[in-house]
Amino acid sequence: MKKVVFSFLFSALFILAPIEVLAEKVITHCMQGDKSYTVDLLKLALNTQKYVYELERNDWFCSEKRKLKSVFERDIKIIWAGASVELEEKLIPVRIPIFKGLTSYRVLLIRRSEQVKFSKIQTLSDFKLLSLGQAEDWVDTKIFRASGIRVVTSHSFEVLPKMLSHGRFDAFPRGIQQAWNDAQQFSNLGLEVEQELAFHYRLPSYFYLSPDSADLAKTLEKGLEALIASGEFDRFFYSHPLIIEGLRNFNIKQRRVFELPNPFLPTKVPTEREELWLNF
């Protein structure tokens, strides 16, 4: 009888053990709206380390209102976001700019046929007569407000294009890798990308991991460094449709670029590593 019980317990442990190990490899995330750029980069980096994993997105935790709270509370393992002191204090940053610093530039989604209004803007003081729309929790919101620009906020990204269309604010700043895709996605709302202006403030975007994911963060950092060393990171970046479209349409030399300070930038941004940054 003892032999039967022992055999049963041994078999049960043998069956359950692999399930427990697999559960540890599930990576929950909140990445969307970028035509898989961040997800594909995450996969490339982990694959260089032969890391066995399963990616899982849980929409319940991924609204703009819930996302940061979810990763703080460990319901989500990984997000990407603009670098900020607040995030670095609460999460584990992987300090490699995943868009090579491209997120330091912002162009504007505006209502179609209102380009003339923006063409008249020559200085930052002129622009302060207008208002912008942003998500409440984005560090960009703090950056614009710190420069005296009026910002109307929402807890939901999806609502912002509708608010712009309905006249709640004058423009919606978007990253170079986002703006033209957004204009297509929300074309039914009568939106387009403004043609003559841009904002610039130092704001790299990082992968941020939950406080209990230190080992995963180290593995991801090693993977990204391997991609950089091999040249694969740049090949991926410059061949991605979002980046190709954004760089082709940006035309920085034809834009009036307003420089803004970023008082919320962490001190450990790797500005000395030229290979990590895009130069226009």
The predicted structure's pLDDT at residue 58: 74
**What is the rounded distance in angstroms from the CA atom of residue 85 to the CA atom of residue 269?**
11
- Collect the ranges in the chain with pLDDT lower than 70: 1-24, 32-35, 63-65
The predicted structure's pLDDT at residue 2: 43
If one counts every other C-beta atom within 10 angstroms of the C-beta of residue 266, the result is: 17
The predicted structure's pLDDT at residue 210: 93
Give a yes or no: residue 115 inside a domain. no
**How far are the Cα atoms of 31, 54, 74, 183 from residue 93, in angstroms, in the given order?**
16, 21, 15, 31
Give a yes or no: residue 111 inside a domain. no
Give a yes or no: residue 41 inside a domain. yes
Q: Which residue, 90, 32, 68, 87, is CA-closest to 204? A: 87
Read off the CATH number of the domain in which 24 is found.
3.40.190.10
| 232-239 and 241-250 helices, crossing angle to 10° | 60
Pull the structure tokens for residue 157: 């990204």
The predicted structure's pLDDT at residue 18: 42
The predicted structure's pLDDT at residue 11: 45
Task: Kindly write down the DSSP assignment for every residue of 120-151, as one continuous string.
Answer: T--SHHHHTTSEEEEETT-HHHHHHHHTT-EE
The predicted structure's pLDDT at residue 20: 38
Give a yes or no: residue 197 inside a domain. no
Give a yes or no: residue 208 inside a domain. yes
Give a yes or no: residue 28 inside a domain. yes
Residue length of the chain: 280
89 and 211 Cβ atoms separated by less than 8 Å: no
Give a yes or no: residue 232 inside a domain. yes
Give a yes or no: residue 54 inside a domain. yes
**How far are the Cα atoms of 37, 105, 126, 242, 247 from residue 279, in angstroms, in the given order?**
20, 12, 28, 17, 11
The predicted structure's pLDDT at residue 15: 44
The predicted structure's pLDDT at residue 32: 67
Q: Number of folded domains in the chain?
A: 1
The predicted structure's pLDDT at residue 65: 66
Domain of 45, in residue numbers: 2-101+204-239
